[in-house]
A and B are shown apart, each in its own frame.
Chain A
Amino acid sequence: MLRLLFFARVREQLGCDRLEVPWSADAATVEKLLSHLQQRGPQWQAALGQPNLLIAVNQCVAEPADLLREGDEVAFFPPVTGG
């Protein structure tokens, strides 16, 4: 399983703050998981297709080519605005 988390505007656009998906060869990298999720529908395409989208794997900001493993936590969020 991959544990997916969505924050802020991304969470609102999807109407969903978390989701579990099975790990598979289709989702073996950050990039593959992203395109797999975008196929879920127009809402997903819009929310996860934003050019400034950030993705963290196990709470560290990740690159598109990073590998995903069974049990990973993958978070999707917009640029941060704290402080």
Chain B
Amino acid sequence: MAAVLQAQVQEQAFDPAALHRSLKVADCGAVVEFTGYVRGGEGSAAVTTLELEHYPGMTERSLQLILEDAAARWPLLAATVVHRVGRLAPGEPIVWVGVGAAHRGEAFAACDFIMDFLKTRAPFWKKEHGPAGSAWVEARSSDDERAARWQPPQGSSR
């Protein structure tokens, strides 16, 4: 059975409980979910607003490709990713990934994989605004290192 894959980019807030209900499909023995929140920072690094820019079209396409890649590596039943754009306040949820599979091993691995590739491949950019001014968030090499842990699946040239 082909996995049910859904990728969405939106300005509005999302409800993890509603996303969980829409993800759960028949015969999922395991559901693993990840929710990322905006951090507020402290002192000179305090953030009052996080601005998320993206590349409409390419963003949705790259998220869909990441989900397809995950479904080709593990026997998934369902996978959903929702990412917000626009202006967000500290404490607000920014990204949600949910994976349903028969067993927990593939669900944990696929959820981790999707987040690693989302952070290093999907065209989103964060800009932090705070009392000290505004600055683009720099990409971190630790994110590239995490993504590099995943070898291409056998028989793939990607």
A79 closest partner in B (C-beta): B139
In the assembly, what is the distance between CA of A80 and CA of B61, in Å? 15
Q: Is there an interface contact between A78 and B58, defined as CB atoms closer than 8 Å?
A: no
Interface size class of A (residues with CB under 8 A): 10 to 19
Instruction: Name the prevailing secondary structure of the A interface residues.
Output: loop
B119 closest partner in A (C-beta): A83
Residues in A whose Cβ lies below 8 Å from that of B127: 8
Cβ contact of A77, chosen from B36, B94, B125, B138, cutoff 8 A: B125
Produce 1/0 per residue, A3-17, CB < 8 A to B: 001011100000000
Produce 1/0 per residue, B135-148, CB < 8 A to A: 01111000000000
Count residues of chain B with CB under 8 A from any CB of chain A.
Answer: 27
Whether B88 is near chain A, meaning CB under 8 Å from some CB there, is no
Q: Is there an interface contact between B123 and A7, defined as CB atoms closer than 8 Å?
A: yes
Whether B6 is near chain A, meaning CB under 8 Å from some CB there, is no
Q: Is there an interface contact between A59 and B58, defined as CB atoms closer than 8 Å?
A: yes
Given contacts A7-B125, A82-B122, A83-B122, 4 further A-B contacts (CB under 8 A): A75-B123, A78-B125, A81-B125, A83-B124
- 30 sample A-B contacts, Cβ–Cβ < 8 Å, listed by A number: A7-B53, A7-B123, A7-B125, A8-B127, A56-B58, A59-B57, A59-B58, A59-B61, A59-B62, A77-B55, A77-B125, A78-B125, A78-B136, A78-B139, A79-B139, A80-B124, A81-B125, A81-B126, A81-B137, A81-B139, A82-B52, A82-B54, A82-B95, A82-B119, A82-B123, A82-B126, A83-B83, A83-B118, A83-B122, A83-B124
